[in-house]
Structure 1
Amino acid sequence: MRFIHTGDIHLGAMPESRKEWAKNRGDEIWQTFERLIKKIKAQPVDMLIIAGDLFHRQPLLRELKEVDYLFSTIPETKVVLCAGNHDAIKKGSFYDGFKWSDNVIFLGSENVQKVEISELNACVYGLSYHQTEITDGMYDHIIVDRPDMINILVAHGGDEKHIPINKKRVAMSGFDYVAMGHIHKPFMDEKYKMAYCGSLEPIDVNDTGERGYIYGEVDKKGLEFEFVPFSKRQYVDLDFTVTPNATNMEIRHRLSDIFNERGKDNMYRVTFNGYRDPEFEISIKDVMDCGNIVTVIDETIPDFDFEEMYADNKDNILGMFIGQYLDKEPLNPLQQKALYYGTKALSQAMEGKV
């Protein structure tokens, strides 16, 4: 049986919405989900598993209809989904009583339920969140009662507040595959036949690295699965080394070249390090205009000539301060930072800049 395992799609989320370059991120999340369905239509699989948090919050009725329409375009694929902690089924939820297309299996119970799919010789187990937090290990005591069939657990959770998962205990239940959601970073555990698919698109700045889905093939003889990158964008941590001769124009040009090479659509967290001219300051505004930049952290250190500064300032507070550190060499990293930042502050104060 061929399957695609996805989850944590978070339709309705609008990451980085305050930034001009990200004003369409909410639409992009929908478009990536639609693109996945179109891929399945062109290259059919037997089952599409959505392991919770299809929506970022309670879905509107029109949103459920849009999603169900997409499912109806792949009628030969069984779609199995549940509600996660973000789109938990609360009172008045449009999940309640919604009529899905014939190929959709919605695991809507607040307790683990089992659904047999005879045409695939498969059983799927799972539950939906009916509250945002569940601290009980709801998946720890399931026993597969049809070992002759392909048994799949759809499990959203994995931390203390969202159904803690004992991987060894779940593995002993007899599942042929455990499709997990909630953790946005993809992770595959062949030993225990389980995987987190991760989010289909990065949802917040902590979702660094590739995002996509799990493709797998499973039968009673074994399991094979792999991660498939699929997102339009990635969050990328970028370390940028500055030299004492650096200029703001040089920094902008180098950043533009890096973005062209590593992906102009990606979203970057830029950290500057290295040594810079004490009189030079990085223009954060210019940097932010270079591309899809989420945050900028300046950890550069002014390239002071401490021996010369000490010689020129022996009789004042700056010289006394530097002298304390020159006697302690070699300095540990914390002492180095104290020396550099203290020297900068005292120099500016003496020049009347602060």
Structure 2
Amino acid sequence: MLYLKLVKNSGGTMRFIHTGDIHLGATPESKRPWAANRGDEIWNTLERLIKKIKIDPVDLLIIAGDMFHRQPLLRELKEVDYLFSTIPDTKVVLCAGNHDAIKKGSFYDGFKWSENVIFLGDKNIESVEIPELNTCVYGLSYHQTEIKDAMYDHVIVDRPDMINILVAHGGDEKHIPINRKKLAMSGFDYVAMGHIHKPEIDEKMKMAYSGSLEPIDMNDIGPRGYIYGEISKRGLELEFVPFAKRIYRELDFTVTPTATNLEIRHRLIDMIKEQGQDDMYKITFSGYRDPDFDIDVSDIEGVGNVVSVIDNTVPDYDFEELYAENKDNILGMYIKKFLDRESLTPLQRKTLYYGTKALMDAMEDRA
């Protein structure tokens, strides 16, 4: 679990949840039958978060951009605003990111939010004071999909006596580059960042990426959720809270020369059952297999929510026999270089296997 703990103040502490990159409207893995409802699951996870806040209220909910995967429909804005209206004692602060940038004709323009919602919709950094929380929030919204200017580099807090929070969506060269050292000198008590889907807490700089609330594609490996925080002028405490319905996992499987497809299937089913049957898996096979055996990839895809299968196994060759059969060609010459050595390091042995496989594949293609 990611966490940061500084000096915690016993009085005047504000409780908040920081999330972002929710990507409502996205439909990850939609072509796979088991993922037909992934789009609905993303909406349901946002609803679960709001229900959690109703049960255990916080003072502030921060959504650091990309609430939507693309331009929101008017009815979608109304649905989200309704959810926010059900937590009237929680101030909600949000901005538009690069995916849901406020372009011409956007329904963000002129939308009337509930009284507890603060939408940082300007293309330049603006600040809004929340007197009852002794807090001032800063931020901007994207009005185009790419912003290469370092918009956050020169912002300075106006009210150092208040709790100052910057809502910052970006962090790469095409989406508002972020200089963490400069931000740390700007006087913010916390920088709530979005755009990067992997959660990260920067203890030294008092800033964090919440990561996406749900994983959006197969590169979003590992836990996804939100940041829970408590903040005052004397200190900050942050904790990453896993909250996603399902996550992507990498599963490494070592194959032996005696392996069969049924054995592999049964072992994978047990491994997935142990790690989480709801989760989504990228399976990578390694090791040595019988030269006459091939892994049935289509069968493997049916053992669970499998999004990719990579076969890095190599045939467990009898190199003495292969050399005897190929003395007069490039394959034989390649094998002989290794057979002439007294012993092979693990790296040399791997090189021998992979090189032999590549040469045999090339010879088959020419045949």
Q: 1:137 aligns with which of 138, 141, 150?
A: 150
Contact 2:255 2:288 in 1 (8 A): yes
Q: Residues 117 and 123 of structure 1 are in contact (CA less than 8 Å); yes or no, is this contact kept in structure 2?
A: yes
Determine the C-alpha separation between the residues in 2 that align with 1:3 and 1:53.
Answer: 19
Match of 2:172 in 1: 159
Residue segments in structure 1 that go unaligned for 5+ positions in a row: none
- Is contact 1:180-1:196 (8 Å) kept? yes
Residue of structure 1 equivalent to 2:185: 172
The equivalences for 1:1-354 within 5 A come to 1-314=14-327, 319-320=332-333, 322-327=335-340, 330=344, 331=348, 333-343=350-360, 346=363
Conservation of the 8 A alpha-carbon contact between 2:85 and 2:114? yes
Q: How big is each residue's C-alpha offset from its partner over 1:39-96, in whole Å with a ceiling of 9 and x where there is no partner?
A: 0011000000000000000000000000000000000000000000000000000000
Q: How many Å separate the matches in 1 of 2:244 and 2:329?
A: 58
Please state how far the C-alpha of 1:323 moved relative to its aligned partner. Answer: 3.1
- Is the 2:331–2:356 Cα contact (8 Å) retained in structure 1? no
Deviates more, 1:294-303 or 1:323-332: 323-332
Amino acid at match of 1:188: I
Return the letter of the residue paired with 1:16. E
Distance 2:233 2:46 in 1: 30
Question: Which structure carries more relative contact order (alpha carbon 8 Å, separation 6+)?
Answer: 2
Contact kept in structure 1, 2:98 and 2:144, CA below 8 Å = yes
Deviations 1:236-269 (A, max 9, x none): 1111000000000001000000110000011111
Deviates more, 1:307-316 or 1:247-256: 307-316
In structure 1, the residue matched to 2:3 is none
TM-score, with structure 1 as normaliser: 0.95
Whole-Å separation in 2 of the counterparts to 1:248 and 1:48? 49
Contact 1:325/1:339 (8 A) holds in 2: no
Shift of 1:349: 7.6
Stretches of structure 2 that go unaligned for 5 or more consecutive residues are 1-13
User: In terms of mean alpha carbon deviation, does 4-13 or 327-336 score higher?
Assistant: 327-336
Report runs of 4+ in structure 1 exceeding 6 Å deviation: none
1:157-200, Cα deviation, whole Å (9 max, x unpaired)? 01111011111111111111100000000000121110000000
The root-mean-square deviation of aligned C-alpha atoms, in Å, is: 1.7
Q: Which amino acid aligns with 1:238?
A: L
Q: Which residue of 1 aligns with 2:7?
A: none
Shift of 1:322: 3.4
> Partner letter of residue 231 of structure 1?
A
Whether the aligned pair in 2 keeps the contact of 1:234 and 1:266 (CA below 8 Å) is: yes
Whether the aligned pair in 1 keeps the contact of 2:68 and 2:99 (CA below 8 Å) is: yes
**How many pairs were matched up?**
350
Q: Among all aligned residue pairs of Structure 1 and Structure 2, give the percentage whose two residues are the same amino acid.
A: 73
Take 1:190 and 1:308, find their aligned partners in 2: how far apart are those partners? 59
1:237 aligned counterpart, secondary structure:
strand
Q: 1:36: Cα distance to partner?
A: 0.4
Shift, 1:114, TM fit: 0.5
